[in-house]
Amino acid sequence: MCGIVGYTGNKQAQDIVLDSLKKLEYRGYDSSGIALKEDKLVICKKEGPISNMEEILPKSNSSLAIAHTRWATHGVPSDANAHPHADADNSVAVVHNGTIDNYLDIRENLEEEGYKFVSESDSEILPILISKYYAGDLVEALHNSLSDIQGIFTIAVIHENHPDEIVAVRHETPLIIGLGNSENFVASDIYAVLKYTQQIIYPDDNQIVRVTPESIDLFDSSLKPLEYVVETVEKYTEVAEKGGYEHFMLKEIFEQPKALQDSQTELFIDNPLEGLSLNWKIGSISIVACGTSYHAGLVGKYVIEQLTAIPVSVDYSSEFRYAAPVQGVGGILSSRPLVVLISQSGETADTLAAARAAKQQGCYTIAVCNVPGSRITREVDGVIITKSGQEIGVAATKTFLTQMQALYVLGTHLAFNSGSLDHPQLKLWESEIRKLPSKITQVLNSSEGIKSLVPNFVNAKSVFFVGRNINYPLALEGALKLKEISYIHAEGYPAGELKHGPLALLGEDTPIIAVAMQDHTYSKLLSNIEEMSARKAPVITLCQKGDQHVPKISDKYFEIPEIDPVLSPFPVAVFMQLLSYYIAHELGTDIDKPRNLAKSVTVE
């Protein structure tokens, strides 16, 4: 969500932090700002895109700066609510990600002491508290301020009396320190600094770090000095440019064959599953995720249960830790439950909280994640990295397919370990999964046929997506994609559920996308299409190549390549992505940065 960058070194800080800040635009934001050290602190901030702020930003030769992109939580998007925030004298400037839960009480107390506030933001209490506690040492001032606040946060602060020093801290939200040559970086995301360094420090919660051009000092919660580990991270080779595509989302849709292939190399050759230590009786599996990753988890449930007969539940991360304890730890089962947590960024606040809850219950935890070194990969028992590369578009595309693929491979691994699959069957599954990139390419090569369907949707006020069995989650995902980027209301349903209420909404202005794969639910799905057509709803059906029945009962249809129905979610997903993209493009929405949304959701 919000983005933080900071630089202290031997170069002009302004250009570096602005360049780094733009690397975080994909996360979603509504305002931006920068604080630089001249004779005094200079702060410039503006509602809207970074370009709005740049237009009013004077050129600076400062070698120290912090900058921020804000996604509103407290207070509407405005210049006043944008970061950095400062104290009354502009001696302290602070950027903050997260939320301060008790800010109203602190603000009331500070106002009684005579301090003035100029914004609605919870973050404004921070520079005032730090200024209040400042007695010459910025680390101590931040440390004393932390004893007053409750919530989740990443904080970076500079002071006019410390011309080359950034002090930062984190609690349940991301913070990384990048090491350079007589220059160092602070950021909330490694993508911000990978252009400049791959040498990274990951502070733990409540560890305060002091950063200067020549030194990094790390302190624990009692200000005891700590040793730190410097890690070298992989530098993504993809340049965050559109490469001739009109939008990042379209580029990333067309990158999916490569993303699947690269992830297969990770899964089948590097084989991280062998290191997961899953050779024990698993009594139950919980898959935990948010948004699109949740839909990947639903697909995984069908596959893993089919392969292993182990019961699988799928929970929203935001609900998981409030539910009953996972059975099997001091419960009705003697075996140990497995919890699989899916997070594209590895920093999703709700999923991180769920991981901690699962570990507290004694569960074995595995993360499926696209960002090596991210927070969740450092907190779980095992990790499966999806090799999608950086995904800029807010609407997830290639990460969805690679997450599904990871769950398919995890399912086959569990089935082989338990004896449900023998070695020839395992290799057959692997062979079929390896064909997925070519199947996806065939759908991409038929994009003009998908584009031709757009006129059926641009005037719709609601669209229904329906499927059965393993493609019911794809109905949910199709609906999510459409409403995310086109702002058309859309709902996904099991096809058999429309007659239990939603059928009342159907008519000539409510088009239906039906997924009709030739599995054991096929005949029922055809009956459902007949029911929808009888209510005069236009039905556009997604079917397998050569289907003889669907064309006769649908208004329009689109054929996907021949594929085993259990693997059909992959080409179906690509169809859903392209259709949503082309509809949104026709409507002229901001496809890569949909309103009100963020790429990485780091608040609960």
Hey, which residues are catalytic here?
A: 2, 599
CA dihedral 309, 311, 314, 318 (to 10 degrees): -150
Lookup: tokens for 438: 């070519």
Q: Are 533 and 550 in contact (CB under 8 A)?
A: no
Q: What is the DSSP letter of 265?
A: I
DSSP state of 324: P
Whether the CB-CB separation of 490 and 463 falls below 8 Å is answered with yes
- Which residue is listed with tokens 């733009």? 22
The helix-helix angle for 125-133 and 138-146 (nearest 10°) equals: 120
Question: Which residues does 416 contact at the CB level (< 8 Å), separation at least 6?
Answer: 422, 423, 426
Tokens of 213: 């051009």
Question: What residues contact residue 579 under an 8 Å CB cut-off, 6+ apart?
Answer: 450, 453, 454, 457, 478, 482, 513
Q: What share of residues in the chain are helix, strand, coil (percent, to 5)?
A: 40, 20, 40
List phi, psi (to 5°) of 320. Answer: -55, -50
**DSSP string computed for 506-556:** -STT--EEEEE-SSTTHHHHHHHHHHHHHTT--EEEEEETT-SSHHHH-SE
- CA 448, 452, 453, 457 dihedral sign is positive
* Cα–Cα distance for residue pair 60/15, rounded to 1 Å: 9
Which residues are CB-contacts of 97 (< 8 A; sequence separation ≥ 6)? Answer: 1, 2, 3, 4, 153, 154, 173, 174, 188, 602
> What is the identity of the amino acid at 114?
G
Please tell me what DSSP assigns to residue 96: E
Q: Are strands 64-70 and 31-37 parallel, antiparallel or unpaired?
A: antiparallel
Cα(first)–Cα(last) distance of the chain, in Å? 11
Q: Are 594 and 459 in contact (CB under 8 A)?
A: no
C-alpha to C-alpha distance for 415 and 89, rounded to whole angstroms = 64
Helix (H) / strand (E) element for 94: namely strand 92-100
Largest CA distance in the chain: 80
- The total of other beta-carbon atoms located within 10 Å of residue 555's CB is 14
Q: Between the CA of residue 331 and those of 323, 340, 381, what are the distances in Å? A: 15, 19, 21
Give the span between the Cα atoms of 491 and 4, in whole angstroms: 35
> Are 355 and 326 a contacting pair, CB within 8 Å?
no
DSSP-assigned letter for residue 233: P
The number of CA neighbours under 13 Å toward the Cβ of 59 is 0
Structure tokens at 61: 């030769």
